[in-house]
Each structure stands twice: as C-alpha cells, then as structure tokens.
Chain A
Amino acid sequence: AQKVTQAQTEISVVEKEDVTLDCVYETRDTTYYLFWYKQPPSGELVFLIRRNSFDEQNEISGRYSWNFQKSTSSFNFTITASQVVDSAVYFCAFSGGYQKVTFGTGTKLQVIP
C-alpha cells in the first residue's frame, strides 16, 4: 500500500525567509507520480507540480523548488523568500501509475509579515 507522510503539521516563518516542506513516501511500485498541491483558505486545490518516478531532476519554478530523491523516498518542497500569499496548506500526494491520488496529511504554512 502507498503512504505519504508529511511530518510537519504547521510551520511559521517570517516573510522573506526560506522554508522547506518535507514529504516522504512509501511504495512498492516502480512507476509512480508525486505531486504537490496548495490549498489556500478558499479551499480550492492549486496544482503545483507533478513528477514521475523516472525523473529525479530537481525543478525550480520561480521561488519554488522541488528536491526528489528516490534513495530516501523524499520529495521536498522549498519556497525561497516566502511571502504572505504563500500562507496555505500544502499537500504532498502520490499516485501509482494511473491509479488514485493519495494525499498526505498536509502542512499548514503561515508566513508572518
């Protein structure tokens, strides 16, 4: 069975600080996808990234970056120079092949001005 663990329940940072959200997954699948979603107070899920298991290259998109390491089964998400608008709940998620998406428990990020 697949499992996604986000050990950090809540994180508070001061604006402009960098912050890393951790995600660890468990699976026996060789082909799978990892995701990060942002859920602001409005509730709507905002897709951030999808990464397949064969692509371990790190990715950078503006202030966001992702570090995928199969050796440690981790897919961590870093926000540099955080802003108040980054305050939200962030979910790491997993999908084995074309199967259902399983979500982690989420990390609530609060960026303090």
Chain B
Amino acid sequence: GAVVSQHPSWVICKSGTSVKIECRSLDFQATTMFWYRQFPKQSLMLMATSNEGSKATYEQGVEKDKFLINHASLTLSTLTVTSAHPEDSSFYICSARGGLNNEQFFGPGTRLTVL
C-alpha cells in the first residue's frame, strides 16, 4: 500500500517552544491531508483537514492559531504546535488521501511530550 511518513517520530520540548511535525506522502500525490490527535487511552480525534494550496479547515474546538497547518505541496503537510504546553502532549497522526482509488493512508504518528 501507499506510504505516509512522519517526522519526527517523537519529540520532547520545553513549555513555550514551538514544534513542527512533517507529514509526507512518499509514493503518491495527496490532494487532502488530515491531522489527528490521540490522547492516552482515547480515540483519534480529527483536528483539521487541509487541501493543497488552501487554508486548513479546523474542527470545532481546535485553535487554528495554535496549531498551524501548511499544505504547501501535494506530498507535504506540516503541523506546527506553537507555544506548546504540557496539555498539548499527545500522539499526533497525519493521514493523506490520494492514489488511484483516492484512499486515505495514515502515517506512523509523532509522540509529542511537552515538559
């Protein structure tokens, strides 16, 4: 199947700093990318949907100024957590939709720990 990568796979940062997470579709062009967040022992919750070249659409309750999403190309989307705080510690998973059947493929996730 298609491959979606995320970098970094884990990151630890100090409170108040910003962290950027990359999501890449390696062997297909992704017209749409999604960012999910998963807190411990909970389900995946969609944060935002982004289409290449346009602004992301955020789900209710997700601060767009805190979670900056850039979908600059058909193979790359980035999520920047600005001024991260301990409550932002979570598992962030991206997914990319594309390919022959326009399926959605998930990345391996990035574990963010904010001290």
Contact = CB atoms under 8 A, between A and B. Distances in A.
Interface of A: 37, 43-45, 47, 50, 91, 95, 98, 100-106
B99 interface: no
Contacts of A105: 42-43
Interface residues of B, number: 20
Interface majority SS on B: helix, strand, loop or mixed?
strand
Given A47-B1, A95-B104, A104 B109 contact: no
Interface of B: 1, 34, 42-46, 49, 91, 93, 95, 97, 102-106, 108-109, 111
Contacts, number: 35
A50 B103 contact: yes
A100 B91 CA distance: 18
A45 B93 contact: yes
A98 B97 contact: yes
Contacts of A103: 43-45
